[in-house]
């Protein structure tokens, strides 16, 4: 059958328009990672891991076959088509029948291309596997550690104090750990920078005392993230605490012998507050038993519902001052009063407040 010239031209133009659409409609495969490091696993205890496969194309993706390196590795997957934007899981089991390190490749044959995609398992089979749960009891979304309280203790102003926190990656992903909400007086470094599955690393926290202007207790919360953009919350919170005091490291033996010394009449103050008594005031005697003037740099109240009053902040040798402490029924649990002075032997002393 012959067509008029203008009909033939129209058919050719339609064919040219439809051909690119047919070419564009094709599957595409994306994996969340081509290598899974299984870390140390027990001898003869089979371990299963999973790979995420996503169809990023515009037509169904078919996995025709998955060829394993040997009988020690078995792959399982859903044989049905993977629709565009759909993610499917491939389960791979390693039997751990041989001791030592291993690297097992798998070939994935699909309708995307003639050549296979490659993924691999690696790790080490050991007779006694490490019990990470016992050694590192705190789980922070796949990163495990031993504790979440970073207590630097007493830090002299101007000096740097360092703490290390062990980390182990118990997930199947590779992480690049980092800390979020870091204050200006803290520096953090990670080793190694990229923590692969099953491997142990550490975070080093350096508190820079010269960036803290106030004496006393500094507390803040930072967050350990697995990668950039990770979510933060109580499950990955680290609580930092440091007591900053004056630096007396340059004093000579003679200066230390002649230094001021704070003596308290009591280090615990008992209160008896009831339904009728809303607040009560007690006093503590602060005496300078040293040979130089005692300077009270700061009095810090730790807790709510506590009031303080001090007549003078400089106490001559042999003299004393009265510290009045008022406790209210609305006070928080276990309130305390911290006294920072230029006494080099005891630069920070604490008063415990007890409501009997």
Mean pLDDT of the region 54-76: 91
Give per-residue burial for 56-68: e unless 16+ CB within 10 Å, then b: ebeeebebeebeb
Q: How confident is the model at residue 12 (pLDDT cuts 50, 70, 90)?
A: low
Cα separation, 263 vs 126, whole angstroms: 59
Domains contained in the chain, number = 3
User: Within a domain: residue 18?
Assistant: no
What is the arithmetic mean of pLDDT over 56-83? 90
What number of other Cβ atoms are within 10 A of residue 211's Cβ? 14
Question: Any idea what the Cα angle at residue 335 is, between residues 241 and 216, rounded to 5°?
Answer: 40
| CA–CA gap between residue 49 and residue 90 (Å, rounded) | 8
Sheet containing strand 336-341, strands side by side: 268-271, 348-355, 336-341, 294-302, 314-315
Whether residue 21 has pLDDT greater than 50: no
User: What digits encode the pLDDT tens for the residues 109-129?
Assistant: 999 999 999 989 998 888 776
**pLDDT at residue 1 in the model:** 47
How confident is the model over 299-322, as pLDDT tens digits? 999 999 999 999 899 999 999 999
Q: How far does CA 198 lie from the centroid of its chain?
A: 17
Is 160 found in the same domain as 87? Answer: no
Helix (H) or strand (E) run with residue 332 in it = none
168 in Cβ contact with 196 (< 8 Å): no
Same domain, 214 and 279: no
The share of the chain scoring above pLDDT 90, in percent, equals: 59
The whole-number average pLDDT for the span 130-139 is 83
My answer on whether 139 and 222 are in the same domain is yes
> Does pLDDT of 8 surpass 60?
no
Checking if the pLDDT of 3 tops 50, the result is: no
Q: Position of tokens 């920070």? A: 348
Is residue 109 within 8 Å of residue 67, measured between CB atoms? yes
Question: CA-CA distance, 302 to 209, in Å (whole number)?
Answer: 21
pLDDT class of 292 with cuts at 50, 70, 90: very high
Asked whether residue 65 is domain-assigned, the answer is yes
Which helix (H) or strand (E) covers residue 3, if one does?
Answer: none
Q: Which CATH number is 164's domain given?
A: 2.60.40.10
Task: With respect to residue 10, please indicate whether it lies within any of the assigned structural domains.
Answer: no
Q: Looking at the chain, how many residues does it have?
A: 356
Min mean pLDDT across 108-117, 189-198, 257-266, 284-293 is at 189-198
**Domain identity same for 327 and 283:** yes
pLDDT of residue 67: 93
In which band, very low, low, confident or very high, does the pLDDT at 2 lie, cut at 50, 70 and 90?
A: very low
End position of a domain, from candidates 69, 92, 126: 126
**Mean pLDDT calculated for residue range 37-57:** 83
How high is the mean pLDDT of the chain? Answer: 88
Q: Which two tokens stand for residue 306?
A: 């506590």
Q: How many whole angstroms separate alpha carbon 231 and alpha carbon 240?
A: 19
**Which of the listed residues 106, 126, 146 is the one where a domain comes to its end?**
126
- Mark whether 338 and 267 lie in a shared domain: yes
Is the dihedral angle over the CA atoms 143, 232, 335, 248 positive or is it negative?
positive
Can you tell me the distance from the alpha carbon of 154 to that of 163, in angstroms, rounded to the nearest whole number?
Answer: 13
* Helix H or strand E segment including 20: helix 5-24
Q: What was the pLDDT predicted at 159?
A: 92
Query: Which DSSP letter does residue 56 get?
Result: -
Which residue, 126, 155, 175, sits at the end of a domain?
126
pLDDT, average across residues 285-307: 95
- CB environment 84-119: b (16+ within 10 A), e (fewer): eeeebebebbbebeeeeebebbbebbbbbeeebbeb
> How many CB atoms lie under 10 A from the CB of residue 41?
19
Q: What DSSP line would sit under 156-192, residue for residue?
A: ETT-EEEEEEEEEE-SSS-B--EEES--TTEEEEEES
User: Residue 112 falls within a domain, yes or no?
Assistant: yes
Question: What range defines the domain where residue 301 resides?
Answer: 253-355
């Amino acid at each position: 059958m012959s067509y008029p010239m203008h009909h033939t031209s129209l058919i050719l133009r339609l064919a040219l328009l439809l051909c690119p659409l047919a070419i564009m409609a094709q599957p595409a495969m994306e994996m969340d990672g081509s290598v899974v490091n299984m870390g140390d696993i027990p001898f003869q205890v089979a371990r299963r891991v999973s790979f995420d496969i996503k169809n990023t194309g515009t037509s169904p993706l078919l996995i025709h076959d998955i060829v394993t390196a040997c009988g020690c590795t078995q792959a399982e997957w859903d044989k049905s088509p993977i629709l565009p934007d759909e993610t499917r899981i491939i389960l791979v089991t390693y039997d751990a029948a041989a001791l030592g390190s291993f690297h097992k490749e798998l070939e994935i044959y699909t309708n995307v291309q003639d050549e296979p995609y490659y993924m691999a398992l690696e790790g080490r089979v050991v007779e006694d596997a490490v019990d990470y749960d016992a050694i590192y009891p705190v789980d922070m979304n796949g990163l495990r550690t031993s504790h979440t309280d970073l207590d630097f203790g007493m830090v002299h102003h101007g000096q740097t104090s360092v703490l290390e926190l062990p980390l182990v990656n118990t997930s199947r992903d590779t992480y690049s750990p980092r800390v979020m909400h870091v204050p200006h007086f803290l520096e953090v470094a990670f080793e190694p920078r990229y923590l692969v599955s099953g491997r142990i690393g550490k975070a080093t926290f350096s508190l820079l005392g010269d960036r803290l202007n106030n004496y006393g207790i500094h507390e803040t919360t930072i967050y350990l993230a697995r990668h950039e953009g990770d979510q933060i919350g109580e499950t990955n919170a680290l609580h930092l605490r440091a007591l900053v005091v004056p630096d007396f490291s340059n004093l000579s033996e003679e200066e230390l012998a002649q230094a001021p010394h704070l003596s308290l009449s009591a280090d615990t103050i008992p209160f008896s507050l009831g339904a009728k008594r809303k607040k009560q005031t007690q006093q503590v005697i602060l005496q300078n038993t040293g040979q130089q003037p005692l300077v009270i740099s700061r009095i810090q109240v730790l807790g709510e519902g506590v009031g303080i009053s001090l007549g003078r902040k400089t106490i001559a040798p042999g003299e004393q001052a009265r510290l009045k402490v008022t406790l209210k029924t609305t006070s928080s649990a276990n309130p305390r009063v911290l006294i920072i002075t230029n006494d080099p032997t005891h630069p920070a002393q604490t008063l415990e407040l007890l409501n009997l």
